A and B are shown apart, each in its own frame.
Chain A
Amino acid sequence: DVKVTQSSRYLVKRTGEKVFLECVQDMDHENMFWYRQDPGLGLRLIYFSYDVKMKEKGDIPEGYSVSREKKERFSLILESASTNQTSMYLCASSQKYRFATEAFFGQGTRLTVV
């Protein structure tokens, strides 16, 4: 069974903290994604990576950075957490040949910044 695993289901952090959200996939997928999901706004792409050490900004990259040192792992970093980053964060992965392949999602991390 294919798996995308996010390191935490729920996380509470303080304003100004540096926050790491980890995601691991076991499907040998080239592409990995980080989304945030907020009520009424749907899924918004933060960053994605199409290969090790390669990354591209999505629609809302401000306040975030990412790291992909190994193919199976994609980390999202909040450099200095703020309350407006309280959200549900979803990691996903997909094969390189995207036209017929779906994205597989992790279970989500609900982050609260206080």
Chain B
Amino acid sequence: AQSVTQLDSHVSVSEGTPVLLRCNYSSSYSPSLFWYVQHPNKGLQLLLKYTSAATLVKGINGFEAEFKKSETSFHLTKPSAHMSDAAEYFCARPSTSGTYKYIFGTGTRLKVLA
């Protein structure tokens, strides 16, 4: 079955240190993949997307993600965390089951410590 797995439900980092949010997908081929961010009481905003072009994708606010087919991973990174990065992050992909749905991970809540 298709799935997107976010390996950590909560991640805490200190301000100025690197951020790593992990996402693995299941698929027999290379799907499109997305990372979204959600600040409290807001909707989801697209951070970046992979669509089978470059495997290293750069997004907004200094985030980037690397598509690794051999590891079926699409981890989100940022070299230096800022307090404003505290939010919930979702990894997602389109379903390929003949519908127009999307499959979302369960989310990772990022906490940034001063």
List CB contacts (< 8 Å) of A59-114 with chain B.
88, 90, 92, 94, 96, 98-108, 110
- How many residues on the B side are at the interface (Cβ–Cβ under 8 A)? 25
Report the tally of A-B residue pairs with Cβ distances under 8 A.
Answer: 60
Contact with B104, one of A31, A43, A110 (Cβ below 8 angstroms): A43
Q: Which of B18-26, B36-44, B78-86 contacts A (4 or more CB under 8 A)?
A: B36-44
Residue of B nearest to A56 (CB): B99
Chain A interface size, as a band, is 20 to 34
Asked whether any CB of chain A lies closer than 8 Å to the CB of B106, the reply is: yes
Q: Which residues of B contact A88 (CB under 8 A)?
A: 41
Q: Bound complex: CA of A43 vs CA of B43, how far in Å?
A: 11
Among A6, A33, A45, residue most surrounded by chain B Cβ atoms (within 10 Å): A45
8 tightest A-B contacts by CB?
Answer: A105-B43, A105-B44, A42-B106, A100-B51, A98-B94, A107-B43, A31-B100, A43-B104
